[in-house]
Amino acid sequence: MQMIEYNLLKAYDRGELSIGQVATILNLSKVEVIELLEKYDIPYVRVDSEYLDQEFSAFERDIASLGGSLHHYADASKIKLEDKAWDLHIKDKYQ
């Protein structure tokens, strides 16, 4: 049975079968198939750099449309100030 599982999961990994198809063939739930993927160290989701670039660009556009900028978050001094403000808030609230 393990060889059949593995071969079906590899077919999923190659894009030949869906999680649902594998689940149906093995008479398992989709959650159980995902657990098998983990067992065999096969990624459930694959994300390539092109996809990440598209998502990041969309995020930048969304931030810009709200009048913001991601550059604010790239400024280490601002991050440190925000962290310090958060620390002070927590100390004030819980002490």
Q: Where are the domains of the chain?
A: 2-39, 49-94
Indicate the pLDDT class of residue 81, thresholds 50, 70 and 90: low
- What is the C-alpha to C-alpha distance for residues 73 and 39, in angstroms, rounded to an integer? 37
Residue 70's pLDDT band, with cuts at 50, 70 and 90, is low
String of DSSP letters for 6-47: HHHHHHHHTTSS-HHHHHHHHT--HHHHHHHHHHTT--S---
Mean pLDDT of 54-73: 70
Question: What pLDDT is recorded for position 49?
Answer: 82
- Tokens 């962290």 correspond to 83
Q: What is the rounded average pLDDT of the residues 57-71?
A: 70
Q: Which amino acid is at 21?
A: Q
Q: Give the percent of the chain with pLDDT over 90.
A: 41
Residue 67's pLDDT is what? Answer: 64
DSSP H or E run through 75: none
pLDDT digits (tens, 9 = 90+) for 20-38: 999 999 999 999 999 999 9
- pTM, two decimals, is 0.53
Q: What is the mean pLDDT of the chain?
A: 79
